[in-house]
């Protein structure tokens, strides 16, 4: 059997990069995506290929642009013949009280964190259904299940992803295509590192206090979830053994949402 092909959006950094690496190690060819310096991205692409033995291509689609998302799927099928695994991971964050939350930030978070998954799924599903196999894994968040103050757009988008996950799971179930959401608690990536000073400003407390009393306060393990843990769960969901897991909203949050 030829290698399966996995697209991982937002895989030039953080969780997405970890997922791409793990899927490559598990025998998938890879389409990586994300923003950043072209030279840095090329170095990431080349390193992933060398490390995993996968064929790795980079697609520069901006996840806020539906036509670029459609082209990414078309280009993947043109290059590899099929798309077997779609990981909707790209995401951004912005933290502010709702009274001062910039409307343009709201729109962008909804586009990248929620609508991008709709567009990617819409274009990839026909190919998956036609071959009777597909794995769609949406990287949601514990914020798909619970809220935190000052994250109105992010929490809304992640709750929306949970609804999208369940709906498409029902539509695709008889065609060998599973659709699930993984819901990490706090993982120490650039996305979280950036919000530490923002949270400190919004709450009027120190950055150490943000880590201790805000980020990890509700995470009973009292440590960050690791990128490798999220990647391993994603690889499992992408595999043949996970064929009966669909429509699931799966916390990987150190017990946060058990409260």
Regarding 184 and contact with ligand NAD (CB under 6 A), the answer is yes
**Do the Cβ atoms of 105 and 153 come closer than 8 Å?**
yes
CA-based end-to-end distance of the chain: 45
Regarding 251 and contact with ligand NAD (CB under 6 A), the answer is no
In sequence order, what DSSP letters do the residues of 144-186 get, joined into one string? GTS--TT-HHHHHHHHHHHHHHHHHHHHHGGGTEEEEEEEE--
Measured from the CB atom, the residue of 148 and 167 that comes closer to ligand NAD is: 148
- From the list 23, 54, 85, 187, which residue makes contact with ligand NAD (rule: CB under 6 A)? 187
Token representation of residue 83:
């798309």
In sequence order, what DSSP letters do the residues of 178-242 get, joined into one string? EEEEEEE--B-SHHHHHHHHHHHHHHT--HHHIIIIIITTT-TT-SPBPHHHHHHHHHHHHSGGG
- Binding segment for ligand NAD among 4-12, 49-57, 129-137, 201-209 (CB under 6 A)? 4-12
Total site size for ligand NAD, rule CB under 6 A: 29
**Do the Cβ atoms of 137 and 237 come closer than 8 Å?**
yes
- Positions in 26-55 near ligand NAD (CB under 6 A): 33-36
- From the list 5, 29, 52, 64, which residue makes contact with ligand NAD (rule: CB under 6 A)? 64
As measured in angstroms, the least distance from the Cβ of 125 to ligand NAD is 20
- From the list 7, 44, 112, 168, which residue makes contact with ligand NAD (rule: CB under 6 A)? 112
Pairing of strands 28-33, 249-252: unpaired
- From the list 92, 117, 169, 214, which residue makes contact with ligand NAD (rule: CB under 6 A)? 92
Measured from the CB atom, the residue of 24 and 91 that comes closer to ligand NAD is: 91
Q: What are the residue numbers of the active site?
A: 154
How would you class 116 by CB atoms within 10 Å of its CB: exposed for 0-12, middle for 13-18, buried for 19 or more?
buried
Measured from the CB atom, the residue of 132 and 193 that comes closer to ligand NAD is: 193
Regarding 76 and contact with ligand NAD (CB under 6 A), the answer is no
- From the list 7, 15, 20, 249, which residue makes contact with ligand NAD (rule: CB under 6 A)? 15
Catalog residues that contact ligand NAD under the rule CB under 6 A.
Answer: 10-16, 33-36, 62-64, 89-92, 112-113, 139, 141, 184, 186-187, 189-192
């Amino acid at each position: 059997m030829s290698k399966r092909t996995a697209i991982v959006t937002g895989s030039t950094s953080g969780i997405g990069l970890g997922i791409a690496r793990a899927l490559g190690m598990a025998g998938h060819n890879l389409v990586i995506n994300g923003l950043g310096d072209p030279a840095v991205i090329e170095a990431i692409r080349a390193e992933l290929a060398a490390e995993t033995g996968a064929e790795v291509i980079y697609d520069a689609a901006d996840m806020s642009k539906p036509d670029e998302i459609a082209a990414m799927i078309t280009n993947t099928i043109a290059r590899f013949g099929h798309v077997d695994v779609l990981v909707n991971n790209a995401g951004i964050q912005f933290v502010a009280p709702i009274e001062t939350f910039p409307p343009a930030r709201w729109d962008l978070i909804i586009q990248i964190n929620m609508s991008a998954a709709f567009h990617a799924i819409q274009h990839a599903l026909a190919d998956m259904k036609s071959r009777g196999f597909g794995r769609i894994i949406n990287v949601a968040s514990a914020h798909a299940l619970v809220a935190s103050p000052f994250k109105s757009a992010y929490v809304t988008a992640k709750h929306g992803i949970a609804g999208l996950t369940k709906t498409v799971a029902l539509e695709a179930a008889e065609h060998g295509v599973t659709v699930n959401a993984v819901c990490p608690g706090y993982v120490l990536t650039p996305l979280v590192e950036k919000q530490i000073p923002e949270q400190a400003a919004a709450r009027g407390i120190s950055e150490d206090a943000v880590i201790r009393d805000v980020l990890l306060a509700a995470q009973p393990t009292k440590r960050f979830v690791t990128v490798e843990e999220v990647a391993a769960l994603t690889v499992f969901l992408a595999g043949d053994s996970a064929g009966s897991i669909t429509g699931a909203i799966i916390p990987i949050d150190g017990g946060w949402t058990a409260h």
